[in-house]
Amino acid sequence: MKGDQLENWLNSRKKRKELYDPQKLFEGIRAGDRHALARGITLLESRRKEDAEAAAHLVRECLPFSGNSIRIGITGVPGVGKSTFIESFGLELIERKKKVAVLAIDPSSEKTGGSILGDKTRMEQLSLRKEAFIRPSPAGDSLGGVARKTRESIFLCEAAGFDAIIVETVGVGQSETSVHSMVDFFLLLMLSGAGDELQGIKRGIMEMADLLLVTKADGENEKTAEKARRTYQNALHLFPPNSNKWTAESMKVSAFRSEDMSAVWEKIDEFCKLTTENLSFSHNRKKQDLYWFRESLKEMILGHIYGMEGFQERMNELEAMLGAGQLSSFGAAEEMFKEFILKWRR
């Protein structure tokens, strides 16, 4: 590197360090500075090794100021109306003097490398409001990692004073389970007129829902929406009751009617009152802490092991042997375990 190049490089490094100084970011976040919040989340999402410690510092600082919000998960297949709903619902919450953060987990399609949530401008009006903060998570290669970072982003948003956090995910993969374990209330959006098998919604996802919304219940679609609502209501009755005493319901909504958005909020509020009173709200959050502790530990252990010297190379060799029929799958796994884990213990 030439002298001036080196100087430029050093300067940009210094600038980056200042920009991502965790203590400064924390102060900015506490002061409600959205740029600091955005940079804080970028820091959490960074894959640079040298950022990991700063990110952990930031989360540690924010944690004592987190927790004071309602965390709402929203899922449904592409096209069901998630962004239209969140835009409308978010504006309704702002009317009710809430500050709304939207975090979207977007598992990019592995095949095309494209984004499922799409590049279209989403939630245009909401994004202009100073009471709102919208942030799509970048598509990551490990869903677990993305989800953990989303959960930590929730803490940052709460420390910045956002009291309604919406976590959006596309209802086609396993991401719902992760989202379900980081929110207080889970909303499932469904289309009318299409069977649930067509929508790729698994029974397990329906079972997680605290409220099921049949979307686009306006104009000619209103009758079919009501029919679908009743069908879903009957299906929900078949699930065993929740330990938190909440009974999931189905409602039909049009994102273009503010009274529908208001009705959805009333339901969530009812849920909060019930579960706060019977303590299941805080109990559920404690359970989630435990879940994420275990998940994070698993992720760390795996990351450590996969990063061991020679691990990947040996993996490739064994995979080739497996392909050639020289080993069984179990035999190959055992081989790796002996060579890396047992040796590591000693």
Q: How far is CA 156 from the centre of its chain?
A: 14
Q: Is 216 in the site for ligand GDP (CB under 6 A)?
A: yes
Q: Quick check: 73 and 179 in contact, CB under 8 A?
A: yes
Count the residues in the chain.
346
Task: Report how far apart, in Å, the C-alpha atoms of 100 and of each of 86, 142, 233, 280 are.
Answer: 10, 27, 29, 24
Residue 89 or 185: which CB sits closer to ligand GDP?
89
Q: Is 82 in the site for ligand GDP (CB under 6 A)?
A: yes
Q: Quick check: 268 and 211 in contact, CB under 8 A?
A: yes
User: C-beta of 144: minimal distance to ligand GDP in Å?
Assistant: 24
Of 60-68, 76-84, 264-272, 288-296, which part binds ligand GDP (CB under 6 A)? 76-84
User: C-beta of 128: minimal distance to ligand GDP in Å?
Assistant: 17
Task: Tell which positions 129-188 bind ligand GDP, by CB under 6 A.
Answer: none
User: C-beta of 110: minimal distance to ligand GDP in Å?
Assistant: 19
Number of Cβ within 10 Å of residue 12's Cβ equals: 10
Of 132-140, 213-221, 265-273, 318-326, which part binds ligand GDP (CB under 6 A)? 213-221
Q: Is 226 in the site for ligand GDP (CB under 6 A)?
A: no
Q: Is 78 in the site for ligand GDP (CB under 6 A)?
A: yes
Of 11-19, 178-186, 214-222, 296-304, which part binds ligand GDP (CB under 6 A)? 214-222
Task: Report how far apart, in Å, the C-alpha atoms of 341 and of each of 92, 312, 313, 315, 320 are.
Answer: 53, 14, 16, 13, 21
CA atoms within 13 A on the CB side of 13: 8
Residue 312, token pair as written in the block: 């990947």
Task: Tell which positions 246-305 bind ligand GDP, by CB under 6 A.
Answer: 254-256
Q: Which residues bind ligand GDP (CB under 6 A)?
A: 76, 78-84, 215-216, 218, 254-256
